[in-house]
Amino acid sequence: MPGFKAVLIQKDASGEQSCGFVSLTDADLMEGDVTIRIERSTVNYKDGLAVTGRAPVVRRFPMVPGVDGVGIVEQSASLSFKPGDRVLLNGWGVGELHLGAWAERARWKSDWLIALPSGFSPDEAMAIGTAGYTAMRAVMALERHGIHPPAGPVLVTGAAGGVGSVAVALLAGLGYHVVASTGRPEEADYLKGLGASEIIPRSDLNGAGKPLARERWIGAIDVVGGQTLANILSMIRYDGAVAACGLAGGLELPTTVAPFILRGVTLYGIDSVYVPKPVRIAAWDRLDRDLDRRKLAAMTKRIAFEDVIDAARQIVDGKVRGRLVVEVG
């Protein structure tokens, strides 16, 4: 049986984790009714956590990381897909519990897949990936709350990262006044190019705060969590909302009920892993309609498959700007 190239995370008897390239065969693949030749993947913050072991993302060893993939169906026992179809996967526990997309081949369940939207090339779909798809879902949450451009400014934290870059571009394209928070002041021109109206330093948000502070924004998309999210909640205007979708600053939320009961602030949690297929398709339809392809290209860098492990380590160190497309096959 011919082998194929894959990244594999392993853990030895002492609990020490390692990550490297190996050769696998189809016999190593897990259960599923669709076998896919992977063309492109990407690097998300979660992939970085999996590779470095900085958080317990991987719950089965050995594991092929990569929570996003685009590829061509080679074998299918599903009526939904046939050989030659190009399909897209985001989440569903791949790279955590089920072998992921950092391999030249994968076997996944048809219920996890959607047809690659006709408006996107494989490279564009992975330039968006889970990060961009999460950003779209966060924007849609603010819209459902009734926050539209005339309502006031919207904050985006971690703005130079993957979720943040797409969120800035989406919000600006929809006409919002976008305030971008970043710990990398050298990225100010990049963020303004994506449509940010204001740039504020990360230090404005990560120090000890008050239960209620001066009202500054009607909405926010936060990828940081922790003390930053607590401070954002204290600064949201009356009847505003925050869409929380990250934990780079920690899992704890040291806040009080004050923003919720005195200003009517709403906190939305944004999941991207186990979202029902109709919701996924709706988010990708909105991305097709609302995401400026020129801005997407400006935030995207392509890397060779051989460089993906180094890129995963860099992303958790805050050294990756925007989005990465991994040329798997």
238: CATH: 3.40.50.720
Same domain for 96 and 147? no
Question: How would DSSP label each residue in 248-299?
Answer: TT-S-----SHHHHHS--EEEE---SS--HHHHHHHHHHHHHHS-HHHHHHT
Domain that holds residue 50: 4-116+299-327
Establish if 96 belongs to a structural domain. Answer: yes
Same domain for 150 and 242? yes
Mind listing the pLDDT tens digit for each residue in 79-130? 999 999 999 999 999 999 999 999 999 999 999 999 999 999 999 999 999 9
> What's the chain's average pLDDT?
96
pLDDT at 1: 64
Q: Mutual orientation of helices 122-144 and 277-290 as an angle, nearest 10°?
A: 100
Same domain for 164 and 242? yes
User: Is the pLDDT at 248 greater than 90, yes or no?
Assistant: no
Closest CA to 117 of 156, 90, 153, 149: 90
- Of 269, 287, 318, the residue that ends a domain is 269
Could you give the C-alpha distances from 129 to 40, 45, 163, 202, 246, in angstroms and in order?
Answer: 10, 11, 9, 25, 15
Establish if 274 belongs to a structural domain. Answer: no
Same domain for 234 and 259? yes
Alpha carbon distance 20, 226 (integer Å):
32
Same domain for 27 and 98? yes
The CATH number of residue 17's host domain is 3.90.180.10
- Of 269, 287, 308, the residue that ends a domain is 269
User: Is the pLDDT at 283 greater than 80, yes or no?
Assistant: yes
pTM to 2 decimals?
Answer: 0.94
- Of 269, 288, 307, the residue that ends a domain is 269
Establish if 26 belongs to a structural domain. Answer: yes
Establish if 222 belongs to a structural domain. Answer: yes
Same domain for 21 and 88? yes
Establish if 283 belongs to a structural domain. Answer: no
Closest CA to 51 of 18, 16, 12: 18
pLDDT at 2: 79
Establish if 23 belongs to a structural domain. Answer: yes
Mind listing the pLDDT tens digit for each residue in 298-309? 999 999 999 999
Alpha carbon distance 182, 188 (integer Å):
8
Same domain for 144 and 262? yes
Establish if 291 belongs to a structural domain. Answer: no
Same domain for 316 and 262? no
Looking at the DSSP bridge assignments, the partners of residue 73 are 36
Average pLDDT over residues 31-50: 97
Average pLDDT over residues 285-307: 97
Alpha carbon distance 108, 328 (integer Å):
17
pLDDT band at 250 (very low <50, low <70, confident <90, very high): confident
- Kindly report the number of other CB atoms within 10 A of residue 90's CB atom: 30
Same domain for 167 and 218? yes
- Residue percentage of the chain with pLDDT more than 90: 95
Closest CA to 47 of 92, 89, 94, 6: 94
Establish if 196 belongs to a structural domain. Answer: yes
Tell me how many domains the chain contains: 2
Same domain for 247 and 209? yes
Cβ atoms of 126 and 41 within 8 Å: the answer is yes
Same domain for 147 and 262? yes
Question: How would DSSP label each residue in 175-228?
Answer: T--EEEEES-GGGHHHHHHHT-SEEEEGGGTSS---SS----EEEEEES--HHH
Same domain for 105 and 158? no
